[in-house]
């Protein structure tokens, strides 16, 4: 079954390798590097028809260097992912999903944390022109747009953050709530025309600030938003080393019980995570999840989770 995956951190790994900061200073090959959970061979083996690639800059990078880091990651997206692999097709607008052929893998550029733009809407507009189709205002810390999920202050959106959401709306770009504070979430849900939680689970089943409370989940569904479940064990089950696909399916089941059967999907977080759900260790294992889902849900429902819900609820 085909898969759309709305979050991975391949670009950060490619950049770190290129800067000589990991893996014995060897550059990574997107096609087959063992160190990439979502390399091209694994995406194809897992049936992934489209993969989202996040531009993510670690908070340790000095503010004045962040824009350069973003440009480097975008350059790696164009040169290493698209440039060297003819079967990778850049999805620059939502309609491009409809032009993908069998054997091709769509590639979507996203931004995880708007720190790199500072307070500069010119930079944001450049990102749209380069093909960024989803923007999360923050990672876990605060920036000029908002507080992030683990910022103790727990604030909502700044005036500038609200400007960013409005520009997202004008450009038919998702506003990603995955790393938001609770307060920031409610600010965004009020303003965003296209909300998505690109990689978050349910807080009722796993109480972590990166997951969503039931009232947030219901309001996402009421706002035509998408919630994409994430495979990292600490977001699936508290305090447990062994996490299985059945544990992940409990989150999917709970989202369905809140009315989301047609508005949920997958955002693995591969290459941004350091431990794995059993039998879901990289993108090539995606069909293990599909096969287990088919034990509990109809084929049509599972197709929905795997790709169709996303296609139905992408910005129009
Ligand atoms: Zn993340």
Please determine, for residue 20, whether its predicted confidence score (pLDDT) is greater than 90.
no
pLDDT by residue (tens digit) across 252-307? 999 999 999 999 999 999 999 999 999 999 999 999 999 999 999 999 999 999 99
Q: What is the distance in A from the centroid of ligand 1 to the CA of 110?
A: 11
Q: Which 8-state DSSP code applies to residue 149?
A: T
Share of the chain above pLDDT 90, in %: 95
What pLDDT does 258 receive? Answer: 98
The pLDDT value recorded for residue 22 is 63
Distance from Cα 181 to the centre of ligand 1, integer Å: 13
Of 98, 4, 105, 43, the C-alpha closest to 307 is 4
Find the helix or strand (DSSP H, E) in which 52 lies. strand 48-55
pLDDT value at position 241?
A: 77
| Report field, pTM of the whole predicted structure over 0.95 | yes
How much distance in Å is there from the Cα of 27 to the middle of ligand 1?
A: 23
The mean pLDDT value for 38-54 works out to 98
Place of tokens 């997202």: 168
For ligand 1, the distance from its centroid to the CA atom of residue 286, given in whole angstroms, is 19
pLDDT in tens, 195-236: 999 999 999 999 999 999 999 999 999 999 999 999 999 999
Position 21 confidence tier, pLDDT thresholds 50, 70, 90 = low
Mean pLDDT, all residues of the chain:
96
Residue 201 C-alpha to ligand 1 middle, in angstroms?
12
Would you state the pLDDT for residue 140?
Answer: 97
Instruction: State residue 88's pLDDT score.
Output: 98
Distance from the alpha carbon of residue 157 to the mean position of ligand 1, in angstroms: 18
**Ligand 1 center from residue 7 Cα (angstroms):** 8
Distance 264 CA to ligand 1 centre (A): 17
Give distance in angstroms: CA of 121 to centre of ligand 1: 23
Give 199 Cα–ligand 1 centroid separation in angstroms.
7
pLDDT 10s digits, 104-144 = 999 999 999 999 999 999 999 999 999 999 999 999 999 99
| CA 98 – CA 316 distance, rounded (Å) | 13
pLDDT tens across 167-206, in order? 999 999 999 999 999 999 999 999 999 999 999 999 999 9
Cα(42) to centroid(ligand 1), Å: 21
């Amino acid at each position: 079954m085909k898969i759309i995956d709305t979050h991975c951190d391949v670009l950060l790994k490619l950049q770190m390798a290129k800067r000589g900061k990991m893996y014995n200073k060897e550059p990574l090959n997107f096609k087959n590097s063992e160190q990439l959970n979502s390399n091209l061979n694994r995406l194809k083996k897992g049936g992934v028809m489209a993969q989202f690639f996040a531009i993510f800059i670690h908070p340790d990078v000095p503010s004045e260097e962040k824009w350069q880091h973003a440009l480097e990651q975008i350059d790696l997206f164009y040169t290493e992912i698209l440039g060297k692999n003819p079967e990778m097709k850049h999805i620059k607008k939502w309609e491009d999903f409809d032009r993908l052929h069998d054997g091709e893998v769509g590639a979507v550029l996203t931004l995880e944390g708007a720190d790199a733009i500072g307070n500069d809407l010119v930079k944001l507009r450049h990102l749209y022109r380069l093909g960024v189709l989803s923007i999360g205002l923050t990672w876990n810390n605060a920036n000029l747009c908002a507080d992030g999920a683990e910022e103790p202050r727990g604030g909502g959106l700044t005036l500038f953050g609200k400007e960013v959401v409005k520009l997202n709306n004008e450009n038919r770009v998702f506003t990603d709530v995955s790393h938001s504070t609770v307060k920031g979430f409610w600010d965004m849900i009020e303003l965003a025309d296209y909300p998505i939680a690109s990689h978050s689970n349910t807080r009722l089943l796993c109480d972590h600030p990166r997951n969503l409370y039931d009232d947030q989940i219901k309001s996402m569904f009421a706002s035509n938003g998408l919630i994409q479940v994430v495979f990292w064990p600490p977001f699936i089950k508290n305090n447990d080393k062994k996490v299985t696909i059945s544990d992940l399916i409990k989150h999917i089941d709970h989202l369905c019980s809140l009315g989301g059967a047609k508005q949920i999907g997958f955002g693995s977080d591969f290459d941004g995570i350091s431990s794995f759900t059993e039998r879901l260790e990289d993108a090539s294992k995606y069909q293990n999840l599909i096969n287990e889902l088919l034990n509990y849900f109809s084929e049509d429902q599972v197709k929905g989770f795997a790709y169709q819900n996303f296609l139905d609820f992408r910005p129009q």
